Amino acid sequence: MTLALYFQFALWVIAAVIAVQLIQMPIRKRCALWVRIVLWIVKFLIAFAIAYEMIADASPLFWNWGYVFAGLYLALMGDLLGGLFCIPYIVKKNINKRVKDQTAAAVFVTLLLTLYCCINAGIISPHELTFTSDKLTSEHKIVFMSDLHYGSSQFASTIEKAFKEIEAVQPEAILLGGDMTDEHTTKEEMQYLYKRLGEMDIPVYFIYGNHDRQPRGSYVGGAKYTEDELVQAITGSGITIVRDDIVQLSEDLALLGREDPSSSERKDPSALPQYPDGAYIIAVEHNPYLTEDIQKQNADLQLSGHTHAGQLFPLRLLYTGAGLKVVGEYQEGATTVYVSPGIGGWFYPMRNESHCWYEVITLKP
């Protein structure tokens, strides 16, 4: 993310606010109260549909015109919230004052919402977790990072600050949970990221997500790098790629890294290597939704990302209502599943759900 892109993003927000307010002025001046209530509901549904397409579905239109729709989402959400604040004025007979009040409130709330979304997206915090098990014979500290989407939504300085904090923690290992890059990441950005991670002098293990290999590169004018170039950048930096395999981290601790389900090469749980006897098993699986596989794998702890905790309201409510794992701890059989909101975000420099964090995990006997 650069200042130029932030400026472009701000222009689209301003344009969307102006368009949304101008379109509604005739309705606010002439239409009955019930019409305006119906309009409020329609605006919410449109904002919800845009949020879903921006984050969850992401059709080619949203990949190429994402900032336009991001501006429209913010303009609609600001207008909706501004309208709620103006309920006491909506039924007043002074139409000119009513229109001015609603317009002013919508513009002001949109400004606040935009500032919050952008600032919140740029906050990366450590999130400390502790898990205990009789299988562990000593204490371990690891760091889990997922969904950085390098080059998309974070300033490089923000990411560098987080990396320095992680280096100061001095964990035994860093686990990368997928989508560290995506289709918007340039080859140079991808190479720099893994070079920087490899310089930490800490063992780093990489597990694929659904965006790392740029499978939808055609949506944005073509992939910026090949899979061979990605593998070379990762392994050439001393980082270990774990694909449906097990790595012994210590005598009492082992890592199961799962290939992403978007890959045709993903193995069935029955084809995975046998677990080391008596070891505590951490499974890293980018996608947390694969309930059947989680139960078959029977790891002690699964670390996942992918969801971004919804990233934009009201997606977190939607996922939760659908019974999906969104953020936090869940239990699947004998496996504790932890879903991270991610250290970055998908494409847009905005979040109004959980802010970004990486996990500092302590494992204790």
109-162 pLDDT per residue, tens? 999 999 999 999 999 999 999 999 999 999 999 999 999 999 888 899 999 999
- Per-residue pLDDT, averaged over 79-87, amounts to 80
For residue 7, what pLDDT is reported?
A: 85
Q: Could you tell me the residue ranges of all domains in the chain? A: 3-120, 123-364
Lowest mean pLDDT among 2-6, 141-145, 203-207: 2-6
- Residue 204, strand partner residues: 174
HSE-up of residue 348 (Cα within 13 Å, Cβ side): 35
Domain boundaries 123-364, corresponding CATH code: 3.60.21.10
Q: How far apart are CA 268 and CA 252, in angstroms?
A: 25
What residue type is 263 in one-letter code? S
Which pLDDT score is estimated for 160?
96
Q: What is the pLDDT of residue 37?
A: 83
pLDDT at residue 98, as a whole number: 65
Categorize the per-residue pLDDT at 95 as very low, low, confident or very high, splitting at 50, 70 and 90. Answer: low
Q: Rounded mean pLDDT of 88-113?
A: 75
**How far apart (Å, rounded) are the C-alpha atoms in residues 274 and 285?**
17
The mean pLDDT of 321-340, rounded to a whole number, is 96
325, 290 in Cβ contact below 8 A? no
Tens of pLDDT along 241-276?
999 999 999 999 999 999 999 999 999 999 999 999
Positive or negative: CA dihedral 152, 154, 159, 160:
positive
Q: Which residues pair with 328 in a beta bridge?
A: 339
- Whether the Cβ atoms of residue 27 and residue 99 lie closer than 8 Å to each other: no
Does 73 or 94 have the greater pLDDT score?
Answer: 73
Quote helix, strand, coil % in the chain, to nearest 5: 45, 15, 35
Q: Which residue has the tokens 């923690």?
A: 169
Report the 10 Å Cβ neighbour count for 164.
Answer: 10
